[in-house]
């Protein structure tokens, strides 16, 4: 067997030519990158093995369509997660800095203008002892926190950053994200019960109370947007906004209401009843120590990121900017993330301004203010639809 | 009949929406704050400017001090005591020693010092490894770069001046108040003469006592006197007292 050049092993194919391409007719940028990375790495390994054992089976197996697809999918998951993770850490950093400046402080100072504070926090919580109290219900205690963190990370990864940067793009994409988003309060309630602690129990109850007050208007608002766009598909909603106007113009009431509801959904100040650290010593998180708590905090920021991203998708045109034509294809992901961070800035602003609402006020706010506003918004949209404007 | 909570604070749903005003205030403040640097000072690397008469640790000008002990008497936390040391010429003198672990930096010692030997200093970083290290002896209390701003004074307006309409001439109590003697009580023990730190008292022959022996009574040189009250305190017959000038 003669020497084969490395160029015969590393060939950059179009991933869409692969018969096992998982995204149908849609081009997927991170999958493309992952595919090319694996073609390079796998090709290199295959070439090396082929040098040692010419004509073996493993080399051809490594660069066969199926195997490249599997490894490309693994790398694809990694890329998607890393981008969301870094984006969330950046929003955490933004919160620290902006909140600091709003209070006339400097904010965090650790490395890279304070960005490395997140890393320092992660390392610190990682090195803490894994304390589990004696009298907790261990199974529920561990499962609920895992599910809260898991669903948060899952929905954060499921938010598409653009037409070419998505995990799944199918016709009920919005619905499944909202369904998973609304799951956390159930786990919080069960977790508060499982921890055998009065603070946690009150925190869990409050999470449930919070959920019954904001979930209805929020779903009505999402339904309104879906009615206006005529589709559950996130990509379709964004393109419908690009074709007409951003939906915050006809639905300004809905936008404001959704903003407050999404603050409540991600349990941030002024709706952080469940973890009211002043009254309830971190509420339902009281008994979670070390890395569990660190991951809960990270999940909180994942949920904040998702709430902002949903606001951007539903009301601010997603990854498209009007009036720049084909330039929209240049860097839609960056545009989307910038819009998300701008939305997050608004959340930080609210956090810097307002105090936490009382438990008796939240139901009033949810049912007497948010729900009527959502219904009024729905009526406006229905009138616009019947009037033939949209 | 007790007032119901809802009567006192009626529920106003429209008011609940009114979060715009505080948010507007915060944004205004943010816009005002963001162009300039923040108020936080990066402490170990940059320090705030400290004025000269800042009440830091006490400092001592060893040669100016007369050892009158007024600082030790005035100290509210009793952290000053007089210790015996040798001055530059080898003479035994009494000088204050300050326990900075107890000092509360009020600056009274500097304010009450009649000769302005005790000063306040802008030195505030005083951390040490042991408590013993916090006790500053008379030589260690010296502060480089002492200037007249650090010599803080206690001054008062005399009532007579105020009545005359002079309001811009504060007077130091150490310049006008002087001890006076009740000669009848004096037994001529010379304690005041021995205890005076500036040698303002001299004893002179003044007749005889009731037993017919000659006795010496003190005469106070009002120019030299610094009004440290040591003679008043040490007098066994309480025949000296400070005459306040009003």
Q: Say if CB A337 and CB A314 are below 8 A apart.
A: no
What is the pLDDT at residue B156? 84
Of the residues A75, A96, A116, the one at which a domain ends: A116
Distance of CA A46 to the CA centre of its chain: 37
- Collapsing DSSP states into helix, strand and coil, what is residue B96? strand
Beta-strand runs (E) in A307-387: none
> How far is the alpha carbon of A359 from chain B, nearest alpha carbon, in Å?
14
**Chain B: residue nearest A99 by CA?**
B30
Nearest to B108 by CA among B141, B148, B71: B71
Least trusted range by pLDDT, from B135-144, B184-193, B207-216: B207-216
What pTM was computed for the model?
0.75
Among B22, B33, B40, the residue with its CB nearest the CB of A353 is B22
- The pLDDT of residue A259 is 92
Name the 3-class secondary structure at B109.
helix
Q: What is the structure's pLDDT at A305?
A: 92
Q: Is residue A225 within 8 Å of A247, Cβ to Cβ? A: yes
For A231-267, give one letter per residue: b (16+ CB within 10 A) or e. Answer: bbbbbbbbbbbbeeebbbebbebbbbbbbbbbbbbbb
Contact at CB, A354 and B23, closer than 8 angstroms: yes
B162 φ/ψ angles, rounded to the nearest 5 degrees? -65, -40
Give domain status of residue A155, yes or no.
Answer: yes
Q: Are residues A234 and A103 in the same domain?
A: no
Do A279 and A315 share a domain, yes or no? yes
pLDDT at residue B15, as a whole number: 62
My answer on whether A98 and A162 are in the same domain is: no
Q: Which residues of B touch A101 (CB under 8 A)?
A: 30, 33-34, 38
Judgement on whether residues A157 and A103 belong to the same structural domain of the protein: no
Chain A residues inside the 8 Å CB shell of B23: 349-350, 353-354
* DSSP calls for A186-252: HHHHHHHHHTT-HHHHHHHHHHHHHHHHHHHHHHHHHHHHHHHHT-S-HHHHHHHHHHS--TTTTTH
Cβ–Cβ gap B11/A100 under 8 Å: no
Residue A86: the pLDDT is: 92
- Tokens for A85? 């993770």
Q: What is the mean pLDDT of residues A83-98?
A: 91
Beta strands in B32-153 (DSSP E): 58-60, 80-86, 92-99, 118-120, 135-136
Answer yes or no: is A231 within a domain: yes
Write out pLDDT tens, residues A141-165: 889 989 999 999 999 988 888 888 8
Within the 302-361 window of chain A, which residues sit less than 8 Å (CB to CB) from chain B?
Answer: 349-350, 352-354, 361
Q: How many Cβ pairs within 8 Å bridge chains A and B?
A: 45
Instruction: Judge if the upstream peptide bond of residue A270 is cis by omega within 30 degrees of 0.
Output: yes
Q: Do A364 and B13 touch (CB under 8 A)?
A: yes
Delimiting residues of CATH 3.30.70.3270 domain(s) in chain B: 58-153
User: What local confidence, expressed as pLDDT, does residue A88 receive?
Assistant: 92
Do residues A199 and A106 both lie within one domain? no
Residue A256 covered by a domain: yes
Smallest CA–CA distance, residue B146 to chain A, in Å, is: 35
For residues A30 and B18, give the distance between their C-alpha atoms in angstroms, rounded to a whole number: 44
Query: How many CB atoms lie under 10 A from the CB of residue A110?
Result: 14
Whether the CB-CB separation of A169 and A27 falls below 8 Å is answered with no
Cβ–Cβ of B23/A365 closer than 8 Å? Answer: no
Confidence of residue B16 (pLDDT cuts 50, 70, 90): low
What does the CA dihedral A200, A204, A207, A211 come to, rounded to 10 degrees? 180
B192 pLDDT exceeds 70?
yes
Pick the CATH number of B159-243 from 3.40.50.1360, 3.40.50.1860, 3.30.70.20, 3.50.50.60: 3.30.70.20
Q: Is the distance from CB of A91 to CB of A341 less than 8 angstroms?
A: yes
Per-residue confidence (pLDDT) for residue B48, from 0 to 100: 85
The answer on pLDDT for A225 being more than 70 is yes
A195 in a domain, yes or no?
yes
Inside any domain, residue A142: yes
Query: Could A364 and B16 be called an inter-chain contact, meaning their C-beta atoms sit closer than 8 Å?
Result: yes
Helix (H, G, I), strand (E, B) or coil at B181: strand
Question: Using the beta-carbon criterion (under 8 Å), do B40 and A361 form an inter-chain contact?
Answer: no
Q: How far is A364 from chain B (nearest CA, A)?
A: 8
Is A255 within 8 Å of A247 (Cβ atoms)? yes
Under an 8 A CB cutoff, do B26 and A102 touch? yes
- Residue A121 falls inside a structural domain: no
A171 shares a domain with A76: no
Share of chain B above pLDDT 70, in %: 94
Q: What is the pLDDT of residue B17?
A: 57
Q: Which residues contact A46 (CB under 8 A, 6 or more apart)?
A: A9, A58, A59, A60, A62, A63
Please give the structure tokens belonging to residue A19: 């018969």
What integer pLDDT is reported at residue B177 of this predicted model?
A: 83
Indicate whether A89 and A144 sit together in one domain: no
Residue B185 binned pLDDT confidence (cut-offs 50, 70, 90): confident
Q: Would A122 be classed as within a structural domain?
A: no
Of the pLDDT bands very low, low, confident and very high (cuts 50, 70, 90), residue B14 is low
Same domain, A177 and A244: yes
Residues of B with CB under 8 A from a CB of A: 11, 13, 16-17, 19, 22-23, 25-27, 29-30, 33-34, 38-40, 42
Phi-psi region of B40 (alpha: psi -120 to 50; beta: other; left: phi over 0): beta
Average pLDDT, whole number, for chain A?
87
Domain with CATH 3.30.70.20 in chain B: 159-243
Residue A249 confidence class, pLDDT cut points 50, 70, 90: confident
pLDDT of residue B89: 85
A108 shares its domain with A213: no
Q: What is the pLDDT of residues B59-86, one digit of tens each?
A: 998 888 888 888 898 899 999 999 998 8
**Contact check, Cβ <8 Å, B39/A104:** yes
Kindly indicate the confidence band of residue A179, based on its pLDDT and cuts at 50, 70 and 90. Answer: confident
Given a cut of 90, is residue B129 above it in pLDDT?
yes
Nearest by Cα to B150 from B117, B120, B106 = B120
ipTM greater than 0.85, yes or no? Answer: no
Domain boundary among A95, A116, A137: A116
Mean pLDDT of all residues in A46-70: 85
Average per-residue pLDDT for chain B: 85
User: Are residues A132 and A111 both part of a single domain?
Assistant: no
CB-CB neighbors (< 8 A) of A369 in chain B: 13, 16-17
In a domain, A123, yes or no: no
Helix axes A332-353 and A65-102, enclosed angle (nearest 10): 30
Q: How far is B26 from chain A (nearest CA, A)?
A: 6
| Final residue of a structural domain among A84, A116, A148 | A116
Q: Which residue from B11, B30, B40 is facing A102, i.e. has the nearest CB?
A: B30
Q: What is the extent of the structural domain holding A42?
A: 1-116
Residues A300, A351: Cα–Cα separation, whole Å:
14
Of A109, A353, A368, the CB nearest to B26: A353
**Span of A49-53, A253-257, B134-138 with lowest mean pLDDT:** A49-53
Give how many domains chain A has, as a whole number: 2
Task: Say what the pLDDT of residue B13 is.
Answer: 56
| Pair A154, A109 in one domain | no
pLDDT of A265 reads: 86
Other Cβ atoms within 10 Å of B136 Cβ, number: 22
Give the pLDDT band of residue A338 (cuts 50, 70, 90). very high
Is residue A340 over pLDDT 90?
yes
A102 vs B39: CB contact, 8 Å cut-off? no
A55-114 residues touching B, CB cutoff 8 A: 100-102, 104-106, 109
Q: Do A104 and B33 touch (CB under 8 A)?
A: yes
CATH of domain B58-153: 3.30.70.3270
Residue A1: pLDDT over 60: no
| In a shared domain, residues A107 and A148 | no
């Amino acid at each position: 067997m003669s020497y084969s050049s490395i160029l015969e092993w590393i060939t950059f194919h179009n991933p869409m030519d692969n018969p096992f391409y998982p995204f149908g007719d849609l081009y997927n940028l991170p999958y493309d990158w992952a595919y090319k990375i694996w073609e390079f790495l796998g090709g290199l390994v295959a070439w090396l093995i082929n040098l040692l054992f010419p004509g073996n089976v493993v080399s051809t197996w490594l660069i066969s369509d199926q195997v490249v697809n599997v490894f490309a999918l693994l790398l694809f998951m990694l890329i998607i997660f890393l981008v969301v993770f870094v984006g969330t850490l950046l929003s955490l950093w933004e919160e620290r800095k902006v909140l600091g400046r709003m209070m006339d402080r400097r904010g965090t100072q650790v490395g890279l203008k304070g960005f490395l504070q997140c890393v320092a926090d992660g390392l610190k919580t990682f090195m803490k002892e894994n304390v589990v109290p004696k009298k907790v219900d261990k199974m529920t205690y561990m499962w609920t926190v895992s599910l809260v963190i898991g669903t948060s990370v899952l929905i954060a990864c499921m938010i598409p950053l653009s037409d070419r940067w998505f995990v799944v793009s199918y016709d009920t994409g919005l619905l499944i994200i909202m369904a998973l988003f609304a799951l956390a309060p159930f786990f919080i309630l069960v977790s508060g019960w499982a921890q055998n602690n009065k603070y946690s129990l009150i925190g869990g109850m409050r999470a449930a109370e919070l959920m019954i007050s904001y979930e209805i208007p929020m779903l009505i608002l999402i339904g309104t947007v879906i009615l206006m766009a005529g589709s559950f598909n996130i990509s379709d909603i964004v393109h419908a906004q690009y074709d007409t106007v951003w939906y915050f113009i006809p639905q300004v009431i809905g936008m404001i209401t959704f903003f407050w509801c999404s603050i409540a959904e991600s349990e941030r100040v002024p709706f952080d009843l469940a973890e009211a650290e002043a009254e309830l010593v971190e509420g339902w998180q009281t008994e979670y120590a070390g890395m569990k708590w660190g991951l809960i905090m990270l999940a909180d920021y994942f949920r904040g990121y998702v709430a902002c991203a949903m606001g951007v998708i539903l009301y601010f045109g997603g990854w498209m900017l009007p009036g720049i034509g084909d330039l929209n294809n240049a860097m839609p992901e960056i545009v989307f993330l910038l819009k998300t961070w701008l939305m997050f800035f608004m959340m930080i602003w609210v956090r810097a301004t307002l105090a936490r609402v009382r438990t008796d006020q939240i139901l009033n706010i949810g049912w007497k203010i948010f729900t009527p506003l959502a219904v009024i918004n729905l009526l406006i949209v229905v009138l616009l639809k019947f009037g033939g404007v949209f | 009949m007790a007032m119901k909570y809802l009567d006192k604070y009626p529920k106003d749903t429209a008011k609940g929406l009114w979060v715009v005003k505080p948010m507007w205030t915060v944004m205004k403040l943010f816009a005002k704050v963001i162009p300039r640097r923040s108020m936080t000072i990066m402490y170990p690397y940059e320090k705030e400017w400290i004025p000269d008469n800042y009440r830091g640790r006490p400092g001592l000008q060893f040669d100016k001090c007369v050892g009158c002990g007024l600082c030790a008497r005035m100290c509210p936390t009793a952290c000053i005591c007089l210790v015996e040391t040798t001055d530059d010429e080898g003479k035994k003198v009494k000088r204050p020693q300050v326990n900075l672990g107890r000092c509360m930096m009020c600056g009274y010692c500097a304010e009450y010092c009649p000769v302005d030997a005790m000063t306040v200093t802008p030195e505030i970083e005083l951390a040490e490894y042991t408590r013993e290290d916090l006790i500053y002896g008379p030589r260690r209390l010296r502060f480089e770069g002492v200037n007249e701003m650090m010599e803080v004074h206690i001054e008062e307006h005399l009532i007579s001046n105020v009545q005359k309409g002079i309001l811009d001439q504060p007077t130091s109590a150490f310049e006008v108040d002087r001890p006076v003697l009740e000669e009848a009580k004096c037994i001529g023990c010379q304690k005041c003469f021995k205890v005076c730190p500036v040698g303002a008292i001299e004893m002179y022959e003044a007749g005889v006592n009731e037993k017919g022996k000659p006795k010496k009574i003190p005469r106070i040189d009002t120019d030299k006197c610094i009004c440290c009250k040591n003679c008043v305190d040490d007098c066994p017959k309480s025949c000296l007292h400070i005459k306040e000038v009003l």
